[in-house]
Amino acid sequence: MADEYFTEDHEYIRVEAGVGTVGVSVHAQEQLGDVVYVEVPEVGRQATAGEAVAVVESVKAASEIFAPVAGEIVEVNTELDGSPALVNEDAEGKGWFFKLRVGDAAALEKLMNREAYTAFIAENG
């Protein structure tokens, strides 16, 4: 089973065998509204924790997607090219943005689990 973490910027990372699948949380996609465009990073790119590596545009706004931890981008969700609405339909499933090989597993411990993230949303909206 994958380990799941969340950031204060509303990204999730689901880690299995050292590779993390990254996307926006259900809460984030609800705030965005209808997603009309997603720009994913290049495979092979080295990302640092907190670095903007992708963009999501909705009818309301454009938002940067940050790498939750440092690592190498090993795969991107090419289905988002033709179907950016996947983010709205299944944000924490088929609407993932990219996968990265986690460079420092200890950095994951600085992120929130789902319970802490739910409390964070309740406190911060």
pLDDT per residue as tens digits for the range 63-90 = 999 999 999 999 999 999 999 999 999 9
CATH number assigned to the domain comprising residue 75: 2.40.50.100
Q: How confident is the model at residue 2 (pLDDT cuts 50, 70, 90)?
A: confident
Residue 51: give the domain boundaries. Answer: 3-124
β-bridge pairing 19-24 and 3-6: unpaired
User: 73 burial class (0-12, 13-18, 19+ CB within 10 angstroms)?
Assistant: buried
Structure tokens at 15: 């880690």
Q: How confident is the model at residue 1 (pLDDT cuts 50, 70, 90)?
A: low
Which carries the bigger pLDDT value, residue 62 or residue 125?
Answer: 62
Written as one letter, the residue type at 25 is S
Domains of the chain: total: 1
pLDDT per residue as tens digits for the range 94-110 = 999 999 999 999 999 99
pLDDT per residue as tens digits for the range 28-65 = 999 999 999 999 999 999 999 999 999 999 999 899 99
**Sequence-separated (6 or more) residues with CB below 8 Å from residue 98:** 21, 22, 40, 41, 53, 54, 73, 75, 76, 77
Least confident of 6-10, 86-90, 121-125: 121-125
Positive or negative CA dihedral for 78, 32, 25, 89?
Answer: negative
Written as one letter, the residue type at 2 is A
Q: How confident is the model at residue 125 (pLDDT cuts 50, 70, 90)?
A: confident
- Give the Cα separation of 70 and 48 in Å (integer): 4
